[in-house]
Amino acid sequence: MTQPKKDESKSALVVSAHSADFVWRAGGAIAKHTQAGYAVHIVCLSFGERGESAKLWRKGGNMTEEIVKASRREEAMAAAEILGATVEFFDMGDYPLRADKESLFRLADVYRRVQPHFVLTHSLKDPYNYDHPMATHLAQEARIIAQAEGYKPGETIVGAPPVYCFEPHQPEQCEWKPDVLLDITDVWDKKYQAIQCMAGQEHLWEYYTRVAQQRGVQAKRNVGITSTKNIVYGEGFQSIFPRVTEDLA
Amino acid sequence: MTQPKKDESKSALVVSAHSADFVWRAGGAIAKHTQAGYAVHIVCLSFGERGESAKLWRKGGNMTEEIVKASRREEAMAAAEILGATVEFFDMGDYPLRADKESLFRLADVYRRVQPHFVLTHSLKDPYNYDHPMATHLAQEARIIAQAEGYKPGETIVGAPPVYCFEPHQPEQCEWKPDVLLDITDVWDKKYQAIQCMAGQEHLWEYYTRVAQQRGVQAKRNVGITSTKNIVYGEGFQSIFPRVTEDLA
Amino acid sequence: MTQPKKDESKSALVVSAHSADFVWRAGGAIAKHTQAGYAVHIVCLSFGERGESAKLWRKGGNMTEEIVKASRREEAMAAAEILGATVEFFDMGDYPLRADKESLFRLADVYRRVQPHFVLTHSLKDPYNYDHPMATHLAQEARIIAQAEGYKPGETIVGAPPVYCFEPHQPEQCEWKPDVLLDITDVWDKKYQAIQCMAGQEHLWEYYTRVAQQRGVQAKRNVGITSTKNIVYGEGFQSIFPRVTEDLA
Amino acid sequence: MTQPKKDESKSALVVSAHSADFVWRAGGAIAKHTQAGYAVHIVCLSFGERGESAKLWRKGGNMTEEIVKASRREEAMAAAEILGATVEFFDMGDYPLRADKESLFRLADVYRRVQPHFVLTHSLKDPYNYDHPMATHLAQEARIIAQAEGYKPGETIVGAPPVYCFEPHQPEQCEWKPDVLLDITDVWDKKYQAIQCMAGQEHLWEYYTRVAQQRGVQAKRNVGITSTKNIVYGEGFQSIFPRVTEDLA
Amino acid sequence: MTQPKKDESKSALVVSAHSADFVWRAGGAIAKHTQAGYAVHIVCLSFGERGESAKLWRKGGNMTEEIVKASRREEAMAAAEILGATVEFFDMGDYPLRADKESLFRLADVYRRVQPHFVLTHSLKDPYNYDHPMATHLAQEARIIAQAEGYKPGETIVGAPPVYCFEPHQPEQCEWKPDVLLDITDVWDKKYQAIQCMAGQEHLWEYYTRVAQQRGVQAKRNVGITSTKNIVYGEGFQSIFPRVTEDLA
Amino acid sequence: MTQPKKDESKSALVVSAHSADFVWRAGGAIAKHTQAGYAVHIVCLSFGERGESAKLWRKGGNMTEEIVKASRREEAMAAAEILGATVEFFDMGDYPLRADKESLFRLADVYRRVQPHFVLTHSLKDPYNYDHPMATHLAQEARIIAQAEGYKPGETIVGAPPVYCFEPHQPEQCEWKPDVLLDITDVWDKKYQAIQCMAGQEHLWEYYTRVAQQRGVQAKRNVGITSTKNIVYGEGFQSIFPRVTEDLA
């Protein structure tokens, strides 16, 4: 785990099934909040060594799972560094990702340690990728454990941080509907830099640039054309829980 | 129409199918925002003279639609006064509520005049009350007209104010799911005072008091038990559009 | 309108978009309840003269809308007779069926007169037939009007009779899901006799016989194979409102 | 397991994730049916020792899981006693609740022994509490096993008892929609007495009293204001299977 | 109406709420099929003169609805020309679009004349634009009328052409889920040329280029990376009816 | 495993929870495609020895699980033979069906070996039968594993074959909606012959004959009554992924 660099009062937790997911799907949100002083911590449940490292495997020769994992770890650490976040690897394996109680408690302990003000993770469904909803399930259940007074009694429990599902690769096929659009225009440079760390998935760079541009146009549209806000890049999120507020505007 | 009393920079619009709906379903939101300086304007599409004035009709004798309407208007004006809002009556008739183009344009003109920062109206469905979704439809379509440059060209168009569906009488039967919980604890007194203006529907006073208490408990739960916020009364809303934000906490 | 033949204490109302719908979709329910002493009244909003009388039109020659309507009326009256129900024709036209306020009030008046203990009508959606959900909408809204004290004050209002959507032609495509299965085994003979009155739609006789058999097997399965009930024919219905009960078995 | 006290012909089974759930969510249904002569048996899969015993844990000092479990068992037994039901504890652990094949077969065996005429359990989803849908899953799968001739061949299999999901804490967030409202007015006293056994969750007493009142008002509304039934308290349930009936009124 | 240029055996119908919708949302499908010999006919229900001509209205001065409409007509005709399709304008007005029986029959007559092998129109919902689902409704109902033997008896009725909803501006907000991805790579040039005819909506050119690229990547993914197909641009569609086939590959 | 008899270029994979499911639900599709030259391979995850062999168990006496399994295997092999397909038995057990990683990889290896052009399996939900969605889950996840370069690197990965859910016993209760109707008229004889191999479930023969007839009528309706296709028997399927096409007719 890379060392945290900040000691501010707010924090966030990102639960990523594979080691690159947090970049494509939440890199803007991470950079935006670290820039605002949040300590953002990322947990990569696996390296995506089997299912999301095609380019490495195609090199053939003496490629091994260990080499792939090391390479993916390096990429993820570089990306997290750029985004200003800390990152931790659970190395649970991918394709399939499976969670036992031990992993669940390990993640609950991260919640207790990080005390996040919000949580980012995958969509609830994804017919193309079963590791993704599995990660969401784990992130949700670990949050519930971390809230329980009876789990490691005496420790400080966590509150009720909002949980957001970040954007899957084919949103409509995953029954994912964004109800929050985050303006990431001022941190786009960082996100694109982080994206470029993912050398093994270059075919996705332009895809996720366009995703950001589309969400930017939509965010612009949803604040209204009379707004003076100049939104160019955005990220979409789907809330799991209702938000509590004092102002509806 | 009663006269507006404020000249602040923010405003809101409430579209109510019948003249009491805005009290039960959004009285807290109205009071909360007028207290914060918003100019809140209410449009009552009908008086609910046929369908929601049973107590008056049961008096029998020489009861007429005109008397019922006058009585309902008075109640609504008193309630709006307490909540600090202005109110306007379209008198379109109820059971059934029907809207022609003229009513649509009339409401679009209200949007243009009020330039609301947010809009409150009914749920998208209600199998018990067909006037309610009809009002939602009208509120939504009028907003779209008011956004169009080609409608009364030269006038100032409206932006993209968020639209919230307030709580129907039997929420689950209306496929209504709150994604926003508003803390109305500090204006509950005003809401309950406004509720008491509805002399003809006394059987609903306690029902909607309990609704506010339940939403309060739920709001408390969704900010987390570790929060120091003391929420006792709440109102739930369902957003129609994604919100655009700079912060996810 | 044929004359009612019964003077029992319970009644039901069937709202049928076209003059044969009530036979295919609710003939069993009608016969079952008239046999049990209910006065069942059917309103046919149209004769289905344009859209559901292909066989007649294909005869060509001097066929006219009047002849088609007369023929369809005769068939429907014969079927209603067999089922033991009364029938009334609104003659509102089909393809498209359109309802103005007058039709709405006319149907509300039927509700007031019949005071139904339950109501049967079409599904909420049907991409193959827009007259069907239109009929459902009318049946639902008329019920609401008939419940209102302020509509024709002084008349006896109706209570809250449950409303059931009967089975459309292609159930899954209409988002129709049966939550009630009615055992019609002991009145199947009558239903099939009524079906045979529909000379113009002979291609549907066997189709709806099979529908009844499939729903029968499903009903049998849902009471459990240990049950001694011998269900062979069934009809499925989808409830719109929750039912109120004293016993969950 | 406390001893059954009745020898009547009808029975019901309640599957409760934690030892208090059956009280808040189904106490009225239990009392209503035991009063009518049903033998109602409750299975508590866990004591809720970790996740639903905050008050006990906050006492601190020498609190242990064993003490919490004993206390919760006592409360549940007292509540069951008041409701007239028998209760059994599987002690599977909570937060998280996990079921292996052994637990599944154990519950299937309870089905075989109880031969329930209906089953009550949790909602299908609950983003706040993953133990709840897990309990539903187990209750459903055990019912299927108990129906299979090939599971412990020679034993009497179970029929097809209806399964009802009782009300979760935040119904709309759990996609829970009641389609059955049970009138519990005449057993409310017992339910409230049972609720008061839950000393550790006093903050929920008034919450669930209001839930009962709201469901009571809704039940009243769904039988119609013309009904002479005086319903004050209710419980809502969502059916999983279609019901088979001979009468639609 | 521009003159049809082809006399091939297959045809298609596009129903567009405003005069530019068919370009953004279905330009590729149109070009693809005209290139394959289909006669594609487009009906523009309105010119989008009020709601989708902001740039023209902002010119101010002596701008009138007639000038806007003429300009929009010209653009649409130029685009249709490029795509190889014929186009017809119903001039029903926009914001709001409203359809009476006359318009419905007029469109049904187009169906009868064109005898389409498939139909393209808008999504079923669109909270940003109420004209769009209204157009879908009209297209669907006109198809049903055109299928009816009793509508203008003696004319050749239409079969059951599949209906596809093309992509709305914010797909997830419209509950639109593509189940068909059309490869438009080889006609992209034409689509982009047609897009450039829409001088008044230049801000959308790049947006819809990116839409095509994203759907292209997704199509590529759904044929599988082992496929040799080189798909770069795509269009997504949502089917309303099941398709009938002889081969599942 | 029976020996494959064909060496054609196209193939399909059927994943069946119990050894008879593939006959009732996909027998037509299998016969249709083997007749067209496809090599169709069936994997039966279990024999349905506990849950779907009631008739055998009721024989009593010395019946054992081994005898039941042998009998079911024989029936399935005979049916597969008639349909022209190969079949393989995983013998994972039923009621409940449970899958570990080993089974998952075993199925992934079948995907790699078969290289299917399409896949048939169960519905996503089934409240009557939890083994069915479990089989779907396994079939889907194994497909994903088989697509991964990092799973057994060096082997030929699979592409993106479409996955279809075949029809469950009570389609509406399983949220199953067919979007594809396959004409199986010319292979009905074979399907019915295969059905007759299922001696232990004779009560289902006529049920699934009627299912085929109903889907046939619906297919006929969806190609349009003007079509000259004579469809009598059909099978319905629900797609999980969007299909990629070059033609919309």
Q: Which of C141, C150, C151 sits opposite B130 (nearest CB)?
A: C141
Q: Give the lowest-confidence range in A95-104, C104-113, D220-229, E108-117.
A: D220-229
CB A231 within 8 A of CB A223: yes
Strands A234-239 and A180-183, bridge-based pairing = antiparallel
**Nearby residues of C203 by Cβ (< 8 Å), 6 or more positions away:** none
Q: Which residues of B touch C241 (CB under 8 A)?
A: 127-128, 173
Of the residues B53, B66, B130, B132, the best mutation for testing chain C's interface (the one with the most C CB atoms within 10 Å of its CB) is: B130
CB F144 within 8 A of CB F225: no
Measured between CA atoms, how close is B160 to chain E, in angstroms?
A: 10
Residue E8 is predicted with a pLDDT of 62
ipTM: 0.94
Q: Which residues of C touch B49 (CB under 8 A)?
A: 150
> Which residues of A lie closer than 8 Å to D, measured between beta carbons?
101, 104, 137, 140-141, 144-145, 147-151, 153-154, 240-242
E96/B150 Cβ within 8 A: no
> Which residues of E lie closer than 8 Å to A, measured between beta carbons?
54, 128, 169-173, 175-178, 206-207, 210-211, 213-214, 217-218, 221, 225, 236
Helix H segments across E11-64? 21-35, 54-58
**Nearby residues of B70 by Cβ (< 8 Å), 6 or more positions away:** none
Give every residue of chain F whose pLDDT is below 70, as ranges.
1-8
CB E158 within 8 A of CB E111: yes
Instruction: State both tokens at A124.
Output: 């609830």
E150/C95 Cβ within 8 A: yes
> Which residues of D lie closer than 8 Å to A, measured between beta carbons?
49-51, 53-54, 57-58, 60, 63, 65, 68, 95-96, 98, 127-130, 173
- The predicted model gives E70-78 an average pLDDT of 97
Separation CA D53–CA B233 (nearest Å): 25
Looking at the domain assignment, is residue F158 inside a domain?
A: yes
Model confidence pLDDT, tens digit, residues B76-93: 999 999 999 999 999 999
CB A244 within 8 A of CB A183: no
Torsions phi, psi for F245 (to 5 deg):
-145, 170
* Whether residue C1 has pLDDT greater than 50: no
Cis peptide before C96 (omega within 30 of 0): yes
* CATH number of the domain to which A183 belongs: 3.40.50.10320
Model confidence pLDDT, tens digit, residues B106-130: 999 999 999 999 999 999 999 999 9
Percent of chain D at pLDDT exceeding 90? 90
Torsions phi, psi for C130 (to 5 deg):
-75, -15
Looking at the domain assignment, is residue D3 inside a domain?
A: no
CB A128 within 8 A of CB E222: no
Model confidence pLDDT, tens digit, residues D211-233: 999 999 999 999 987 788 899 99
Looking at the domain assignment, is residue E214 inside a domain?
A: yes
Percent of chain E at pLDDT exceeding 70? 97
Looking at the domain assignment, is residue F1 inside a domain?
A: no
CB atoms under 10 Å from CB of F45, counted, come to 28
> Which residues of B lie closer than 8 Å to E, measured between beta carbons?
101, 104, 137, 140-141, 144-145, 147-151, 153-154, 240-242
The mean predicted confidence, pLDDT, of chain B is 95
A140: helix, coil or strand?
helix
E79: helix, coil or strand?
helix
D211/B170 Cβ within 8 A: no
Q: Which residues of D touch F96 (CB under 8 A)?
A: 101, 104, 141, 145
Q: Which of C172, C176, C221 sits opposite F176 (nearest CB)?
A: C172
Of F106, F118, F92, which is closest to residue F145 (Cα–Cα)? F106
Measured between CA atoms, how close is E200 to chain C, in angstroms?
A: 35
Q: Which residues of E touch A173 (CB under 8 A)?
A: 177
Residue F104 is predicted with a pLDDT of 98
Q: Which of A54, A172, A207 sits opposite E177 (nearest CB)?
A: A172
Q: Closest chain E residue to C98 measured between Cα atoms?
A: E101
Domain count for chain C, please give it: 1
Looking at the domain assignment, is residue C248 inside a domain?
A: no
Say if residue D101 is exposed, middle or buried (CB neighbours under 10 Å; 0-12, 13-18, 19+): exposed
* Residue-by-residue pLDDT tens, chain A, 249 positions: 454 444 468 999 999 999 999 999 999 999 999 999 999 999 999 999 999 999 999 987 889 999 999 999 999 999 999 999 999 999 999 999 999 999 999 999 999 999 999 999 999 999 999 999 999 999 999 999 999 999 999 999 999 999 999 999 999 999 999 999 999 999 999 999 999 999 888 889 999 999 999 999 999 999 987 788 899 999 999 999 999 999 999
Model confidence pLDDT, tens digit, residues B157-179: 999 999 999 999 999 999 999 99
Q: Which of D137, D140, D148 sits opposite F50 (nearest CB)?
A: D148
Instruction: State both tokens at C124.
Output: 């909420």
A170/E172 Cβ within 8 A: no
CB F174 within 8 A of CB F168: yes
Measured between CA atoms, how close is C88 to chain F, in angstroms?
A: 30
CB C52 within 8 A of CB C94: yes
Q: Which residues of B touch E51 (CB under 8 A)?
A: 144-145, 147-148, 150-151
Measured between CA atoms, how close is A215 to chain E, in angstroms?
A: 9
Q: Show the domain range for F124.
A: 11-239
Query: How many beta-carbon pairs under 8 angstroms link A with E?
Result: 40
**How confident is residue C203, by pLDDT bands cut at 50, 70 and 90?**
confident
C242/B173 Cβ within 8 A: yes
Residue F218 is predicted with a pLDDT of 98
Query: How many beta-carbon pairs under 8 angstroms link E with F?
Result: 131
Residue F226 is predicted with a pLDDT of 73
In the block, tokens 């399996």 appear at: F121
Q: Which of C65, C68, C96 sits opposite E104 (nearest CB)?
A: C96
Single pTM value for the model = 0.96
Of B215, B193, B165, which is closest to residue B83 (Cα–Cα)? B193
Separation CA C70–CA C49 (nearest Å): 9
Separation CA E171–CA E173 (nearest Å): 5
Q: Which residues of F touch C219 (CB under 8 A)?
A: none
In the block, tokens 């999980």 appear at: F240
* End-to-end alpha carbon distance in chain A: 40
Measured between CA atoms, how close is A41 to chain B, in angstroms?
A: 14
Residue A1 is predicted with a pLDDT of 46
E170/A172 Cβ within 8 A: no
Residue D8 is predicted with a pLDDT of 61
Handedness of CA F102, F103, F106, F111 (dihedral sign): negative
Model confidence pLDDT, tens digit, residues B218-234: 999 999 877 888 999 99
* Whether residue C206 has pLDDT greater than 80: yes
Q: How many CA atoms does the CB half-sphere of B112 hold within 13 Å?
A: 20
Residue D1 is predicted with a pLDDT of 45
* Whether residue D5 has pLDDT greater than 60: no
CB D178 within 8 A of CB C242: yes
Looking at the domain assignment, is residue B6 inside a domain?
A: no
Residue B200 is predicted with a pLDDT of 80
Looking at the domain assignment, is residue C124 inside a domain?
A: yes
Model confidence pLDDT, tens digit, residues D26-75: 999 999 999 999 999 999 999 999 999 999 999 878 899 999 999 999 99
Residue C20 is predicted with a pLDDT of 95
B and F interact (at least 3 Cβ pairs within 8 A): no
Query: How many beta-carbon pairs under 8 angstroms link C with E?
Result: 48
Residue B4 is predicted with a pLDDT of 45
Residue B6 is predicted with a pLDDT of 47
Q: How many CA atoms does the CB half-sphere of E96 hold within 13 Å?
A: 22
Helix H segments across chain B? 21-35, 54-58, 65-83, 101-114, 131-147, 188-196, 205-223
User: What torsion do the CA atoms of F172, F174, F179, F185 make, to the nearest 10 degrees?
Assistant: -80
Of A247, C222, E194, F51, which is closest to residue B33 (Cα–Cα)? A247
Q: Which residues of D touch F65 (CB under 8 A)?
A: 150
D173/A242 Cβ within 8 A: yes
Of F40, F21, F19, which is closest to residue F29 (Cα–Cα)? F40
Under DSSP, the state recorded for E56 is: H
CB D171 within 8 A of CB D235: no
* Whether residue C167 has pLDDT greater than 70: yes
D160/C223 Cβ within 8 A: yes
Looking at the domain assignment, is residue C200 inside a domain?
A: yes
Of B41, B35, B38, B46, which is closest to residue B13 (Cα–Cα)? B41
